[in-house]
Every structure is written in C-alpha cells, then in structure tokens.
Amino acid sequence: MHRRTFLTGTAIGAAAALSPIGPAHAGAAGHGHPRRRGRTVSVASLDALRKAIDAAVPGTRIVVADGDYTVPAAEPLAVRGKHGSGAAPVTIVAESRGGVVLRGERSFVLTDSSHITVSGFSFRQGTTLDIPPTCTHVRLTRNDFQLADIEGLHWVMVRGDDSVIDRNHFHGKTTLGIYLGIEGAGGEAMAQRVHVHRNHFSDHTFPGANGGEPIRLGVSPRALSSAHAIVEYNLFERADGDPEAISVKSSDNVIRYNTIRNSAGGIVLRHGNGTRVEGNYLVDGEEGIRIYGNDHVVVNNYLAGLSGRAMVIGSGSARDHLPGEPAADRRGNDAPDRVLVAHNTFLDNARTLSGEAQRPHEPRDVTVADNLLVGRSGDLVEMANTTRFTWQGNILFGAANDGNIPAGGFHRADPRLVRGSDGVYRLSRTSRAIGAATLENPPVTHDIDGDPRGSRRDVGADEYATATPRRRPLTPADVGPHAP
C-alpha cells in the first residue's frame, strides 16, 4: 500500500499531490487530471478526486487508488450540489474495500446533494461524518469506521431523508459517543425512511453508564416525530458502551432480524410510539428489550442467556408525552400503553419478564400472549403495578417460579426444545407448544426463522418445521464490508 500524506502550502506538498502511484495508474494523476473511461473516472490524488467530484454527473463512478491519504483540514472532499439519480447515482469508491484510508480532521463533506454513494473507504478522521438535511438518498456502504477515539465524538450522523447505511464495520471506541446517530432538521424533525442494514457494530468499551450507543435512532425532543426507519440484519458484538445497543427515541420504526451477542446493550424503546420489534436474537449478553411508549408490537424475538433483564415493560414519569411540552419534560419515560408482546421465546435468563415501580405511571392495556418462558431460578414474571393487562396462551417451564403472572394467563408444559447447530433451541416434533397459540388475528405471518405461521400457530418465537431456517443468528461473515 502506498502512503500519501498531502501537505499544503509547500512545493513538496504540491509535488506529492501530483505524483503517479505506479504502472497501473500511469497517466491517471500525472498532471492532476482524472482519466475517464466512459462513466468511470480513476484518480490517484486528492486534487484529482476533488476535480472528479466537481465534474461528476449522474452515473459517474469515481475510483480512488488504494493508499493512505491525509485530507487537509482546510480542503475537505466537498460534495456540493451534486445530484445523481436512483438509476444512476454518483459513486465514489475505493479501488479495493478498505484499501483507501482517509485521515485528517475531515474527509467527505456533503451539501445539497442527492443519490450519492460512498463505498469501500477506511475512515480514520477526527470529526463526525455528517449526512445533513440538505442531502437525500446518500448511501454509505462497505466502509470501515474507526474514527478518532475522542470523548463525546459521534462518528456518523444521518439527518438526510432516504439515507442508506449498509455493510459497514463500526469498531474500536473506548470513550463517550455513539457510532451511528439518526436525527433530522431543526429541533424536532426526524430524517425519513433511513435504512440501516447488514452492518457490524463491535467493541465499544466505554465504561460509563450512558452515552455509548451503537445506534441512536432519534433524541428526546424528536420522540413524537415519525421516522419510518428500518434497522435490520445488523450484528452487535461486545457493544458495551451503553445499556442500549439500539436506542429508539422516535416513532413508527421497524427493528428486525438483528443479532446482539455478548453485549451489555439491548433494544430499548426509550421514547416514541408505534415501533415494531421483530425477529431479533439477543443472546449471552446483559440487557434484553425494554419498552416505554405506546402502540408498540414486540413479536418473534429470541432472548437467551442474558445476565440482566430479558424484557422490561416499564413505568412512566409521564402518562404520555405531548406535542409542545417543554424539552425537560420530554426526557422522562412515557408509560407503555396498548403494547402487544407475543410469540417471544425467553430461555435461561437471570430475569425473564419484569416491570418497574420507581415511576408513578404504570403500563396499561398491554397484551402478553403466546410467549414461551423457560428458566432455572427466580421468578419468570415479576411485574409491578399494571392496569388492564391481558395474559393468555403463555407457556412456562423450568425450575424457576411462575412469579406473579395471573392464573389463567399461562400453563406449564415441557416445550421439548432441541439445540440446533447454530446454538438456537427450537421446538421438537413432540413439543406441547405446537398448535397452542391463542391470539386471534396476530400481526405475525412468519416465525423468527422465516417459516410461515399458518392457521394453527405455535407458542414462542419458533414455529415447528423440518426445513432449514431461512434466518439464523448473524455471524461476522453475514455483515460488514465483505458481506454478500
């Protein structure tokens, strides 16, 4: 790999900026001019990259030669007023995945642009990479993010609509600050339809109690704003910077098919309403799923081997958050109302299903149905005050006590689970959970594996089947820059 450190204001810096890098790129940057091959432009210097960006039109593909580049603070890689299209984005890509290392204070600075793809870079910059509200349809894909380990530095902030963050690796932070934040314009809006998928979030070791989330989807003042984001097929490993690996602080989102393994953080619906949490694996870590706010659907999740609380149906400092309330009031917890918790599997967690008593507003009108709760010790259900809860069709098993689940809301039966090659325990053909579900018209058509539920549904996250599961817990091979 060639190292290119670009200096400004000296003859040495000018010569370095214009030097070729070898036979494969001869002529590509000999005079600082990009070489065109149809819609492909090959560049081997920062000056050539800037010129190629300035000249880009829909469909332009700019290929940056592998190397180690330091971007001067006063001359970031500006993408300003550039507009591709859905069928023909402007693409800026490293010659090989991870082969272009970008150092310095900043790298790409985007303004008033759309349909831009940035792919294959190793980001090592000292400030946040931002997708501002003036940009739409920006895609960050197959990049490696290990920005400066600075206290309070957020690594990537997304504020533009229809952004896509996929197949990246975020890793190696030890200080306060988040890997990926999603917000919006002004103080209350949320970016719309952001899609976060196939990313690997790992090794955040900030020892504080708050402020090191891998994903923060909104903030308190934006809680009532609908984002319509989808966060799916992401892998979290050793995500220990915060009790919340996925922190949801906005409304109307989908969190599905993610795997959180060996991590302190879980999935927390901290603020906002109407989010669906489906088909996630939370295994061998600490926290599970924690619920605040209204009208959520929490189905088909698998929570196993957690040392903390597998699921919390929380209490509220307020009954509901309301438009126009003071920002200080918005920071409190909103009591859960009209939440559905169904078809989840809980297996050998330290605490299985619990509530909270430290706030004045209890959860109301919650349905807990057709879940499988298996434990070895303690109480399987430890709810505090509740109002108008519906408990039905749940199956409990193991040496753990029932706890305070109402009689009639469950029965005890051996689910006869068998361990698969992926470590997941699923129903065997003689399981008492088969065909035992009770909920009418549930909002689930498939199970956590992707198998169809059919008309005679099973209790828990798994529907008994003999076919190979379509979905399994994710591994590093499934996510990140080299994922399929």
pLDDT in tens, 241-274: 999 999 999 999 999 999 999 999 999 999 999 9
Name the residue among 128, 139, 140, 134 with its Cα closest to residue 181.
128
Hey, is 357 helix, strand or coil?
coil
Vertex 200: Cα angle to 199 and 206 (nearest 5): 125
Kindly list the structural domains of the chain, giving each domain's residue range(s) and its CATH number in brackets, ordered by start. Answer: 128-478 (2.160.20.10)
Count of beta carbons in the 10 Å neighbourhood of residue 185: 14
pLDDT of 331: 85
pLDDT tens profile 131-155: 999 999 999 999 999 999 999 999 9
Amino acid at residue number 112 = D
Res 326: pLDDT: 84
- Mean pLDDT throughout 49-63? 97
Residues of the chain above pLDDT 70, percent: 92
- Work out the pLDDT band at 25, boundaries 50, 70, 90: very low
268: closest CA among 284, 286, 151, 322?
286
pLDDT at 197: 98
Tokens read off for 165? 């963050």
Task: Read off the pLDDT band of 208 (50, 70, 90).
Answer: confident
